Structure 1
Amino acid sequence: MKIVKRILKIVLALIGSLVLIGIITLWIDASRTNYLEINKNASVSHNSYLIKNVNIIPMNQDTVLVNKMVYIKEGIIKKIDDTIEMKGIEIFDAENKYLTPGLIDMHVHVWDRYELGLYLSNGVTAIRNLWGMPMHLRIKEDIIEENIFAPSFFTTGPKLTGSEFIGDDNLNLNNPSEAKDKVISYKERGYDFIKTYYGLDKEVFDAVISQAKISEMDIVAHPSQKVPFSYHLNTQIKSIEHAEEIVQQPLQFDLDTSKLQPIIDSISQSKHTRYSPTITVFNNIYQMMMDDSILDSESLKFMNPLIKMDDSKRQFERWHTAKQEDPSTIDRIKKQHDFHLTIVKKLHEAGVTIICGTDGGIGVTLPGFSIHKELAFYKEAGLSNYEVLKTATVNASQSHAMMNQHGTVEEGKIANLLLVDENPFVKLSSLKNPIYVFVKGRKLNRETLDSFKEKAKNRKNLVATALRYLENLVIEK
């Protein structure tokens, strides 16, 4: 008995030591992102002032409002006019630059707080996180409380998946009762949306949709192959993700535009449905096959180290092997990417509302940077600069009621804005390096934004990320 007690004490001591080490690791990682903290007493935190000499890209109409003034009070756009007379308030001279809504990425996967700075540095002032974990609820709370500089943050709960899709990234549902319980739980805990994923059969899917309606939670759908593709046009489902899912499911990899058109027509007839193509993440398969050194590239230094070590590496090895076994795979992937551009073109021509999403944060799809690549693909698909910019501003903001205060430069909207050198209707790439990013009215200059990039580069938080993911497995599984 004494030996058993001694062993138990040793085990408990080891567990205690590991817990302490884990707490210290997470504390150190948190302290390394304190550069995002808002000092509400410092001048940089001021969110009430008057902007003068500014050309406005309002995005509620295809126009430029020339040489305007904008009054921002406590982070809200209060007035836009030719002349605004106010005394005792800071005046910010925009020097005839262009003021646009901040960009919105509607499909991301956030792994740490460093990425919040990466999004801001690329002009992304709102994100929709589509794989919710407990850490995201803490991030969301800090952003709502205005404790940190970050994009406005909206998140689904964990991915709801059919029973046979086993994996630590899936929340497997086995019956309708379990499905309803999960939706209720996610609502109570503070998740914003429900994400449906592979493998949901009709019975379970119906339960998710029914309870989501009762709980007043919008659904974001990664299509399930267990129901017809048209099933995802339900009014509770606010957006469908990935152009590649049209190829994989209803088309069964047949890249035939005549077979595509009826699918496009069915989506367009569902007036509420928005589509998020996420062309970039699929194109990155092609990039991985074309560049054998991509994992060692300068750009990959901005990926979370755990994701880079695990997901990025596994995806690269999968497609590198596929290329070696069958060199024609490269051409097949490139043709499918080109077909995705056709899908975007057809969706747009049919009047389907396209929303910009990148799948940033997984594989080799960089947080923040990738939105500019995604927008460029929409341009290549035939959209005008105004139509392209709509996908990442007003279209995105109208997807969910809770996002309606974003997406346009209008009185009453949140002052999440960009100040750029050139008119993006003429030069879309001017959005890549905004001179200023405004977060609820607080101004971040280019020097600060560049520092956010540098802080995120080559970060050493692999263990901290693993611990937060372990927390997710313990709580959610």
Structure 2
Amino acid sequence: MKKWLKRIGWGLISLLLLTAIAIVVVLKLDKKKTSYLRIQNTSDSFVIKNVNLVPMTGDTILYRQDVLVENGFISVIAPDLSLGTSKIVNGTGKFLSPGLADMHVHVWDDYELGLYLAKGVTSLRNMWGMPFHLRMKERINRNEIYAPLFFTASPKLTGPEDEGIDKKRVKDPKDGRRLVAKYKEQGYDYIKTYAGLPKDIFDAIKTEALAQNISLASHPSFEVSYDYHFSKPIKAIEHTEDVVQQALKYEDDSLMLAMTLEHYAQTEIGHTPTLTVFHKISEIIEKESALLSEESIGHINPAFLELGSHDDYNRWTSTKLYDSLVGERILKQHQQHLKIVKKMNDAGVILLAGTDSGISYAVPGFGIHEELGFYKEAGLTNYEVLKTATVNPSSIYEELSNTGTLEVGKLANFVLTSENPLENLKTLHAPEKVFIKGLILDSDRLTKLQEKAFKRNNYWATTIRLAEGLLFQ
């Protein structure tokens, strides 16, 4: 008997060892496949000559300017600079705008970092944090890889009764305080609060977050009133759909909406609409299998496509079988979202462009242009639309304060386009060049970043990182 137990023990040890070796090999191979993101050549200084600036300090264009970039920052903006040996980037006839921020994303791998850059996104706020995101942030901050500025929320904190493997259930107020301190120490930039937090635990999380000097990014909790979220240290409230579902209780309540907008404006708490991911429900219901064959779907992480996106597809296509009006209701709510976003903008609410890309069929990089298109459809001017992805994030978050406008002293995070985005937003879909911390990505490199992310084969590497996140959140 002892001999058999010994054999079983050695068998388990061997199996664990082989599993560990397999995990290391899979992750190393995945890292090798994304070696194209490694930063090799840098430029200490250069001048973008004769370019038209979209400064985003106002609804204006500064024509035929020169921009001197030194050590990753704008040092001079003036017409006709003469600087001798500096590298020249010809901007004649082109338009230079601040890089875009997507303030609600779910990043699954390094490929997506390149994909975001290819679509002009130079700042990201990741909204479901895991250990691999902390390692990703360290590599980005060490300037090892081409990537947008990267900030990550913690795992999603929810109440003890809110089930789901993607959520960190908080047992009681003491546990909430412990987790806030833990996540701050680990290096997360924000605490993510979720839909099932009861008031006593939420209060404890708020108190500890204030003590730890870390802000909250809140998916509204349905265990408290919507108004509860208008207090420090919450800096942003996510999802216009929750204004409809929680604040308005699915009614067209103009008085309650006006009160909600007033609270937003008075507290200067940002709002992230994420219209793109909600609209994907309409696309699933309308297009069904045709959606799955669209080319852009090839840019979604293959593991999440199977483990997450297909669940959404099955849910809504099966709902349609017994509820023929579901598509009509979802589309009607989307139209309500558009009206609310317009009223928010008119009321002075600080809108933060965010897409929920990486979830459902919202495609990383592509999603920001869908999102901005919805704001345009809602009735915002092009300047107002661009503010949501440039100026507004920098006004809410101190860590983004050196981005969002083209001014001396700001980070050299730009997009160069052939047309004026204040006249044609679609020109931002395919930038000719992207600049990130003063590094120049030309059109050939941008194309490569997009191509490398297409139908990538990293299912198991992603699954390993996801499993780590669920086990050690």
> TM-score under structure 2 normalisation?
0.98
Aligned residue runs from structure 1 range 93-242, under 5 A = 93-242=90-239
Residue identity matched to 2:287: D
CA distance in 2, matches of 1:296, 1:277: 27
1:225-250 CA-partner distances (Å, limit 9, x unpaired): 11110111103111110000011112
Pairwise CA distance, 1:287: 0.4
The 8 Å contact of residues 50 and 79 in structure 2, kept in 1 or not, is answered as: no
Tell me the secondary structure at the aligned position of residue 93 of structure 2.
strand
Question: Across the two proteins, how many residue pairs are aligned to each other?
Answer: 471
Pairwise CA distance, 1:87: 2.6
Match of 2:28 in 1: 27
Query: Quick check: 1:77 aligned with 2:74?
Result: yes
Select the residue among 256, 260, 265 that pairs with 2:257. Answer: 260
Select the residue among 274, 278, 286 that pairs with 2:282. Answer: 286
Tell me the secondary structure at the aligned position of residue 396 of structure 2.
coil
CA distance in 2, matches of 1:343, 1:307: 31
Structure 1 unpaired stretches of 5+: none
CA distance in 2, matches of 1:48, 1:193: 33
Tell me the secondary structure at the aligned position of residue 416 of structure 2.
strand
1:384-403 CA-partner distances (Å, limit 9, x unpaired): 00000000001012211111
1:54-111 CA-partner distances (Å, limit 9, x unpaired): 1111111211111111110011111111232323221211122100000000000000
1:366-395 CA-partner distances (Å, limit 9, x unpaired): 001010010011011111000000000010
Residue identity matched to 2:13: L
CA distance in 2, matches of 1:413, 1:441: 11
Pairwise CA distance, 1:258: 4.7
Aligned residue runs from structure 1 range 418-457, under 5 A = 418-457=415-454
The 8 Å contact of residues 153 and 192 in structure 2, kept in 1 or not, is answered as: yes
CA distance in 2, matches of 1:398, 1:264: 18
CA distance in 1, matches of 2:44, 2:362: 33
Tell me the secondary structure at the aligned position of residue 94 of structure 2.
strand
Pairwise CA distance, 1:255: 3.3
Select the residue among 393, 396, 411 that pairs with 2:393. Answer: 396
The 8 Å contact of residues 47 and 443 in structure 1, kept in 2 or not, is answered as: no
Residue identity matched to 1:34: S
Match of 1:366 in 2: 363
Tell me the secondary structure at the aligned position of residue 63 of structure 1.
coil
The 8 Å contact of residues 50 and 80 in structure 2, kept in 1 or not, is answered as: no
Pairwise CA distance, 1:257: 3.7
CA distance in 1, matches of 2:11, 2:232: 57
1:183-216 CA-partner distances (Å, limit 9, x unpaired): 1111111111111111111111111111111111
Pairwise CA distance, 1:253: 1.4
Query: Quick check: 1:274 aligned with 2:270?
Result: yes
Pairwise CA distance, 1:259: 4.2
Aligned residue runs from structure 1 range 6-45, under 5 A = 6-39=7-40, 42=41, 45=42
The 8 Å contact of residues 47 and 442 in structure 1, kept in 2 or not, is answered as: no
Residue identity matched to 1:290: E
Tell me the secondary structure at the aligned position of residue 431 of structure 2.
coil
CA distance in 1, matches of 2:434, 2:110: 18
CA distance in 1, matches of 2:188, 2:8: 42
Residue identity matched to 2:271: Y
Query: Quick check: 1:382 aligned with 2:379?
Result: yes
The more displaced of 253-262 and 426-435 is 253-262
The more displaced of 261-270 and 16-25 is 261-270
Residue identity matched to 1:289: I
CA distance in 2, matches of 1:227, 1:144: 37
Pairwise CA distance, 1:453: 1.1
Tell me the secondary structure at the aligned position of residue 224 of structure 1.
coil
1:399-419 CA-partner distances (Å, limit 9, x unpaired): 111111111111111101100
CA distance in 1, matches of 2:136, 2:395: 23
CA distance in 2, matches of 1:114, 1:240: 28
1:135-159 CA-partner distances (Å, limit 9, x unpaired): 0011101110100000000111111
- CA 1:47–1:334: 2 relative to 1, 3 Å: farther
Tell me the secondary structure at the aligned position of residue 243 of structure 2.
helix
CA distance in 2, matches of 1:87, 1:182: 55
Q: Once superposed, what is the RMSD of the aligned Cα atoms? A: 1.1
CA distance in 1, matches of 2:58, 2:44: 26
Tell me the secondary structure at the aligned position of residue 92 of structure 2.
strand
1:5-49 CA-partner distances (Å, limit 9, x unpaired): 11211111111111101110011011111110001xx3xx22411
CA distance in 1, matches of 2:363, 2:252: 28
Residue identity matched to 1:319: W
Match of 1:317 in 2: 314
CA distance in 1, matches of 2:185, 2:262: 37
CA distance in 2, matches of 1:96, 1:111: 37
Percent of aligned pairs with the same amino acid: 44
Residue identity matched to 1:440: K
Pairwise CA distance, 1:169: 0.7
Tell me the secondary structure at the aligned position of residue 68 of structure 1.
strand
Residue identity matched to 2:278: F
The 8 Å contact of residues 47 and 89 in structure 2, kept in 1 or not, is answered as: yes
Pairwise CA distance, 1:439: 0.8
CA distance in 2, matches of 1:473, 1:335: 36
The runs of at least 4 consecutive aligned structure 1 residues that moved more than 3 Å come to 255-259
CA distance in 1, matches of 2:4, 2:255: 76
Pairwise CA distance, 1:322: 1.1
CA distance in 1, matches of 2:120, 2:36: 18
Pairwise CA distance, 1:264: 2.1
CA distance in 2, matches of 1:225, 1:215: 25
